[in-house]
Structures are given as C-alpha cells and as structure tokens.
Amino acid sequence: MLLLLLPLPLLLLLLLLLLLLLLLLLLLLLLLLLLLLLLLLLLLLLLLLLLLLLLLLLLLLLLLLLLLLLLLLLLLLLLLLLLLLLLLQLLYYYHYYYYYYYYYYYYYYYYYYYYYYYYYYYYYYYYYYYYYYYYYYYIFETTVPNKLLLRQIVVLHKFYFRTHMLLLLLLPLPLLLLLLLLLLLLLLLLLLLLLLLLHI
C-alpha cells in the first residue's frame, strides 16, 4: 500500500505543473487579446484622426471657396462701381460740355450778330450820310448835282457793303466744313468696322 502511494506526490506535482502551464497559456492568450484590443483601439484612433483631418480639409476647402466667392463678389462690385463712376463722369462731362458749348455757341452768335447788326446799322447810316454829304457837296459846289458820279459812288459802296456782308455771313463756313469732314471720317470708320465684321 505504501509502495502504491509513493508516486502520488509526483503525480500531484505533474498536475500542478500542468495547471501552471495552462495558467501561463491563459495569461498569454489574455495578453494577446489585450494587445489586439490595443491595436484595434489604435486603429480606431487613427481612423478618427484621419476623419478629423478630412473634415478639417473639407472645412478649409469650403472656407477657401467662400473666400473666393467673396473676392469675386467684391471684384464685381468694384467693377460695377467703376462703371457707374465712369458713366456718371461721362454724363457729367457730357452735360457740362454740352450745356456750355451751346451756351457759348448761342452767346457767341448772339453777340456776333448783335454786334454786326449794329455795326452795319451804323455803317449803313454812316455811308448814307456820307452819300448825302457828297450829294449836297456837289450841289453846293456846282449847283447842279453830278448825278452820274454820285450814282457810281453809291453803286460802288453798295457793292462793297454787300460783299462785306456776304463775307461776314460766310465766316462760320470753315466750322461747317470741319464738321462735315468729321462726319465723313466717322462714316469711313463705320464702313471699315462693318467690313472688318463681315470679313470676320
């Protein structure tokens, strides 16, 4: 009986060893599981970081797009303001020059004709009295008026007066010719533009 019970401690020891091995294996498995869990957590964290980075990039892109849109809107507003300013300036200068051009134009011609009207008025009466002066002078000198000579003098002075009047009336002719030349140049430019457009 004692002999049979001798290997019992050995068996117990073996069992203990086996249990220890099993425990070690279990611990290793647990460690592996923990490592796997940690790796999974790290992967999840990385994924979250990537998602955050993507979101940040998207936000940055959206901000850039918004900034670009704002810049475009500002540029358009500036262009519109510039166009409005140019238009107002053109209208102002057009109105200014148009008004003052016609104002001085009529002012000039009003005083021009006014001056020459009175000039010829007095001029005419000056020669009127001049003719009568010579007429009475010849009467006084000869007691018979030299009608032929007086008639010649009157005709000559009338001719001079009329030609001078005609010349004064033709004074604005160069301006009219210049306007006609400008109109012709404009017509030629329009024709050239039409030809270019047709050619294109």
Determine what percent of the chain falls in helix, strand and coil, rounding each to the nearest 5.
95, 0, 5
**Tokens at residue 30, please?**
């647990």
First to last CA, the chain: 126
CB neighbourhood size of 32 (10 A): 10
Residue-wise pLDDT tens digits, 159-188:
555 665 565 555 566 666 777 888 888 888
Q: What pLDDT sits at residue 52?
A: 93
Query: Would you tell me the crossing angle of helices 147-169 and 8-142 to the nearest 10 degrees?
Result: 180
What is the reported pTM? 0.33
Which comes out higher in pLDDT, residue 27 or 116? 27
Residue 116 CB-half CA count within 13 A: 13
pLDDT, tens digit (0-9, with 9 covering 90-100), for 18-43: 888 888 888 888 889 999 999 999 99
pLDDT (tens digit per residue) in 64-114? 778 877 887 887 787 787 777 777 766 666 655 555 555 555 555 555 555
User: Quick one: how far is CA 31 from the chain centroid?
Assistant: 76
% of the chain exceeding 70 in pLDDT: 50
